[in-house]
Structure 1
Amino acid sequence: MRNRAGVIIIENDRLALIERTRNGYTYYVFPGGGIEAKETPAEAAKREALEELGLEVEIGECFFELSGTAEESYFLAAVTGGKFGTGAGMEFTERDPERGSYKAVWVARDTLPSITLYPEELAAKLCQRTE
């Protein structure tokens, strides 16, 4: 499994997430994906925000890291341009029924405990954050 990077975008106490539905099961993930050759995790996170959300972002601090079969880094990010929901990554342009559906959504932070959000450890950390 290759290393991944993702973005955490919080605006008006809402998070920008990807709603996934696969085999009748709906869950949420942070926008992100694999780190390409010669790309830093921060560069990958910035690219993924544009591909999956249609947003240009300024990458901030690395808020969360997860190690396992691959390294995962999640960065706080601020929107600097673009239009939410206009991502043109492969997930949106080359629909594959086997992979399910992808939809960019805003989710209120106070609803995080009631949804299935991966990675769960990051979701728990954001629930505790008081900012």
Structure 2
Amino acid sequence: MRVRGSAVLIENKKVALIKRIKNGVSYYVFPGGGMLKDETPKKAAKREVYEELGIDIDVKECIAEIDFNGKQFFFLGDIVGGTFGTGQGEEFSDESKGIYLPIWVDIDDLPFIDVKPNEVAEKIKTLFK
């Protein structure tokens, strides 16, 4: 299993997520992905957010370390540039990976949607009440 770096981006009581639709099933994930050679989880989170969302972030502290399909690190981040929703990563052009939709979700709505991993959604609710 790969080590992954992901970002938790909060603005105006909303969290940035990617709605995934694959084989007729919808769920939500945090932007992020696997580390490249010689990359740290923090650097992977920054790169993946740019690829998936089209934005530059300042990566802050790690708020969660989860064993979910491998070791995943979740970092708070602040948007410092770019335009949300303009990502050009390979997942947007590879139809076999399903549909990727960058969206903002109200923190209060997290209990009502299928967020993976749920432990991070729970942590966000406690941090940003």
2:112 maps to 114
Q: SS state of the match for residue 36, structure 1? A: coil
Structure 2 residue aligned with 1:35:
35
Q: Find the aligned partners of 1:14 and 1:61 in 2 and give their Cα distance.
A: 19
Specify the alignment match of 1:80 in structure 2: 80
Cα distance between partner residues in 2 of 1:73 and 1:3: 8
Task: Supply the distance in 2 between the matched residues of 1:113 and 1:69 (Cα, whole angstroms).
Answer: 22
Give the gaps of 5 or more residues in structure 2: none
Counterpart code for 1:99 = K
Q: Give the corresponding residue for 2:55.
A: 55
Structure 2 residue corresponding to 1:99, chosen from 97, 100, 105:
97
Task: Supply the distance in 1 between the matched residues of 2:83 and 2:30 (Cα, whole angstroms).
Answer: 17
Query: Structure 1 residue 68: deviation in Å?
Result: 5.5
Displacement of 1:57 in angstroms is 0.3
SS in 1 for 2:47: helix
Letter in 2 for 1:41: P
C-alpha change, 1:105 and 1:130, in structure 2 (3 Å) is: closer
Q: Is the 8 A contact 2:4 2:34 kept in 1?
A: yes
* 5+ long unaligned stretches in structure 1: none
Q: CA deviation at 1:67?
A: 2.6
* AA matched with 2:114: T
Q: What are the superposed Cα offsets for residues 25-69 of structure 1, whole Å, 9 maximum, x if unpaired?
A: 111000000011000111000001100000100000001101366
User: For the structure 1 residues 58 and 95, does the alpha-carbon distance in structure 2 shift closer, same or farther, using more than 3 Å as the test?
Assistant: same
TM-score using structure 2 length: 0.95
User: Deviating runs (4+, > 6 A) in structure 1?
Assistant: none
Aligned to 1:124: 122
Residues 50, 56 of structure 2: 8 Å contact kept:
yes
3-state SS of 1:84 partner: coil
